[in-house]
Amino acid sequence: MSDRLNNDNLADLPGRVQRPVYDRRFIRTGIVHLGVGAFHRAHQAVYTDDVLAQDPHWGIVAASLRSPDTYDALQPQDGLYTLAVRSQAGEALRIIGSIRRVIVAPRESEDLLEVMADPQTRIVTLTVTEKGYCHDPATGALNEAHPDIVHDLAYLRTPKSAPGFIIEALRRRHLKGVPPFTVLTCDNLPSNGRTVKRVLTRFAELVDPELGRFVADELSCPSTMVDRIVPATTDQDRERIGEALGVADAWPVVTEPFTQWVIEDRFPQGRPAWEKAGAEFVSDVEPYEHMKLRLLNGSHSTLAYLGYLAGYETVADTMADEAFVRLIRGLMDEEITPTLHMPAGADLESYKSALIERFKNPALKHRTWQIAMDGSQKLPQRLLGTIRDRLRNGAPIGRLALGVAAWMRYVTGLDEKGAPIDVRDPMAARLREVADQAGQSAENLARGLFAIREIFGDDLPGDSRLTGAATAHLARLYEAGARRTVAEFKVG
Ligand code: CS2
């Protein structure tokens, strides 16, 4: 099998493979996406693919801000790729056609800026992960000392960061009298629209006060809640999918049947009718976002650190251990749910039961190591916000503190057998330094890590209800290991 999936062989694919029902030649660009990873391709690009048949104005130009990997895979395929939806019932294959072009930003920054500044571009969507916003995770403010921000402020025309590209494109639009595009962040940040607006406004002010006012007054950044579990694609996936298609796909994406997108409806330049593809438009996303970040991502991170330490490779492997299921269900029911304020009619019981089943999906090989990445950027919105709410009400935080302790144990960089852990985190060097200084002392390690204000803020390090509980859990993790700690876990 040497042929690659492309426009010419689309019609010859086996009948069971779903493919675009529109003619790709008539699609126009309306959206620029920054951060063309697997998540974008299994989520927003699919909703957009669904609406293109009725409205051809919303084709996507997608950019990688770092590596050329996705370009190398998709460009020879005319931007086409396979979406493989996997469950215990089997695998459904569908070819997605909404990405018209892939740009590698570091080598084609001018091309990317031109497309972004084009009046036809009406929405810029983003999935650049938590760290891509170059902000301080504890406060949500732009980190003005971030090397990429320092660079971008000095070289406006050749930016590196997502904020740098957006502001330079908006500066060009402003100069030409073109209204701003809508910025739609699809990352798991708290109040993600408000956070991105704060970061962008500050960046623009630093460039020029007039640009700062333009961004503050005219830029719309609706908040979104995005949800779909998309593990990294493996070579096995490539092989299996290539065989089923009869042509090679260099980078298919593999996901679960579940998908959800809740969006605030503030698009001054118009938008696709994504509701026809199942997106929900609401006036306030925050309750949904809290629900998802706290119940799904908070549990996910807890499972990732504890599961990795316990020697489990995937989330499904971890969830095959009943003690972990008990812990996570208790975490959700007793410690997270009381902090949520859902609109009438929201059914949290079904949501949580579905989550447990999604985590158990054995057809998805979602590695605990993958979710464990970038904990310094994830902890605040996944666990620490919930902990703050609980402490304010004097409520117990036993399981939440165990999640924090497991992160602390994980970032020491040595597993329970003394083997190295590949800790990926923008703060990895600093975390490692704290761990090296602490030796094997749970108390020193906890004290050193809690002192990192960018993660824990000014309040949590001084609250002995959290520091005491996390230190005790950490000592237990050192002594008994993660598997026993979870098996013998009792609410204290
Ligand atoms: C995961 C998320 O990698 C992670 O940190 O928790 O990517 C998670 O799979 C998605 O948010 C699900 O919507």
Q: Tell me, what CATH number does 230's domain have?
A: 3.40.50.720
Instruction: Give domain status of residue 1, yes or no.
Output: no
Q: What is the pLDDT along the chain (492 residues), one digit of tens a residue?
A: 569 999 999 999 999 999 999 999 999 999 999 999 999 999 999 999 999 999 999 999 999 999 999 999 999 999 999 999 999 899 999 999 999 999 999 999 999 999 999 999 999 999 999 999 999 999 999 999 999 999 999 999 999 999 999 999 999 999 999 999 999 999 999 899 999 999 999 999 999 999 999 999 999 999 999 999 999 999 999 999 999 999 999 999 999 999 999 999 999 999 999 999 999 999 999 999 999 999 999 999 999 999 999 999 999 999 999 999 999 999 999 999 999 999 988 999 999 999 999 999 999 999 999 999 999 999 999 999 999 999 999 999 999 999 999 999 999 999 999 999 999 999 999 999 999 999 989 999 999 999 999 999 999 999 999 999 999 999 999 999 999 999 999 886
Where is the domain boundary, 282, 313, 338? 282
Per-residue pLDDT at 491: 82
**Is-contact 113 101, C-beta < 8 A?**
no
Shared-domain flag, residues 475 and 441: yes
**Exposed, middle or buried, 49 (CB in 10 Å: 0-12/13-18/19+)?**
buried
Where is the domain boundary, 235, 259, 282? 282
Per-residue pLDDT at 2: 62
228 Cβ below 6 A of ligand 1: yes
- Ligand 1 centroid–CA 39 distance in Å is 9
Element (H, E) at 434: helix 428-438
173: which 2 tokens? Answer: 């639009």
Instruction: Give domain status of residue 492, yes or no.
Output: no
Instruction: Give domain status of residue 360, yes or no.
Output: yes
Shared-domain flag, residues 294 and 342: yes
Shared-domain flag, residues 272 and 298: no
255 Cβ below 6 A of ligand 1: no
Element (H, E) at 216: helix 209-218
- Kindly list the distances between the CA atom of residue 148 and the CA atoms of 65, 116, 132, in Å, as whole numbers in the listed order: 12, 20, 10
Q: Which of 43, 295, 371 to probe ligand 1 with, by most ligand atoms within 8 A of CB?
A: 371
**Ligand 1, atom 13, residue with closest C-alpha:** 227
Residue-number span of the structural domain to which 104 is assigned: 7-282
Listed residue (308, 337, 334) closest to 321, CA to CA: 308
395: which 2 tokens? Answer: 């409520």
Which ligand 1 atom lies nearest to the CA of residue 188?
Answer: 11
- Ligand 1 centroid–CA 300 distance in Å is 7
Neighbours of 88 (CB within 10 A): 9
382 Cβ below 6 A of ligand 1: no
Interval 233-290: pLDDT, tens: 999 999 999 999 999 999 999 999 999 999 999 999 999 999 999 999 999 999 999 9
**Is-contact 354 258, C-beta < 8 A?**
yes
Look-up of token digits 């494109």 = 169
Shared-domain flag, residues 236 and 372: no
- Ligand 1 centroid–CA 297 distance in Å is 6
Work out the mean pLDDT of the chain and round it to a whole number: 97
Q: Sign of the C-alpha dihedral, residues 68, 189, 61, 112? A: negative
Which ligand 1 atom lies nearest to the CA of residue 371?
Answer: 3
Shared-domain flag, residues 134 and 261: yes
Which ligand 1 atom lies nearest to the CA of residue 378?
Answer: 5
| Strand, helix or coil for residue 33 | strand
Shared-domain flag, residues 276 and 361: no
Shared-domain flag, residues 371 and 292: yes
DSSP state of 125: E
Which ligand 1 atom lies nearest to the CA of residue 231?
Answer: 9
Instruction: Give domain status of residue 198, yes or no.
Output: yes
**Is-contact 86 255, C-beta < 8 A?**
yes
358 Cβ below 6 A of ligand 1: no
Shared-domain flag, residues 64 and 77: yes
Shared-domain flag, residues 65 and 204: yes
**Exposed, middle or buried, 478 (CB in 10 Å: 0-12/13-18/19+)?**
middle
Instruction: Give domain status of residue 2, yes or no.
Output: no
- The Cα–Cα gap between 55 and 232 comes to 31
**348-360 and 322-330 are packed helices; what angle lies between their axes, rounded to 10 degrees?**
150
Domains of the chain: total: 2
- Ligand 1 centroid–CA 277 distance in Å is 21
Instruction: Give domain status of residue 96, yes or no.
Output: yes
Shared-domain flag, residues 260 and 214: yes
**Is-contact 194 224, C-beta < 8 A?**
no
Shared-domain flag, residues 195 and 335: no
**Is-contact 482 372, C-beta < 8 A?**
no
Listed residue (257, 237, 263) closest to 248, CA to CA: 237
- Ligand 1 centroid–CA 340 distance in Å is 19
297 Cβ below 6 A of ligand 1: yes
User: CA angle at residue 319 from 317 to 321, to 5 degrees?
Assistant: 85
Radius of gyration for the chain, computed over Cα atoms and rounded to the nearest angstrom: 23
- The Cα–Cα gap between 300 and 378 comes to 11
Q: Indicate yes or no: pTM above 0.80.
A: yes
Give the side-chain half-sphere CA count within 13 A for 235: 0
Instruction: Give domain status of residue 421, yes or no.
Output: yes
- Ligand 1 centroid–CA 148 distance in Å is 25
**Is-contact 491 396, C-beta < 8 A?**
yes
Which ligand 1 atom lies nearest to the CA of residue 260?
Answer: 13
Interval 107-123: pLDDT, tens: 999 999 999 999 999 99
**Ligand 1, atom 1, residue with closest C-alpha:** 371
Neighbours of 92 (CB within 10 A): 14
- Ligand 1 centroid–CA 240 distance in Å is 24
**Ligand 1, atom 9, residue with closest C-alpha:** 229
Per-residue pLDDT at 440: 87
**Ligand 1, atom 3, residue with closest C-alpha:** 371
Per-residue pLDDT at 443: 98
Shared-domain flag, residues 250 and 176: yes
Which ligand 1 atom lies nearest to the CA of residue 227?
Answer: 13
Report the DSSP beta bridge partners of residue 262: 225, 280
- The Cα–Cα gap between 469 and 471 comes to 5
200: which 2 tokens? Answer: 């962008």
Query: CATH number for the domain including 471?
Result: 1.10.1040.10
- The Cα–Cα gap between 325 and 353 comes to 11
Percent of the chain past pLDDT 70, that is, above it, reads 99
Where is the domain boundary, 282, 313, 334? 282
Instruction: Give domain status of residue 299, yes or no.
Output: yes
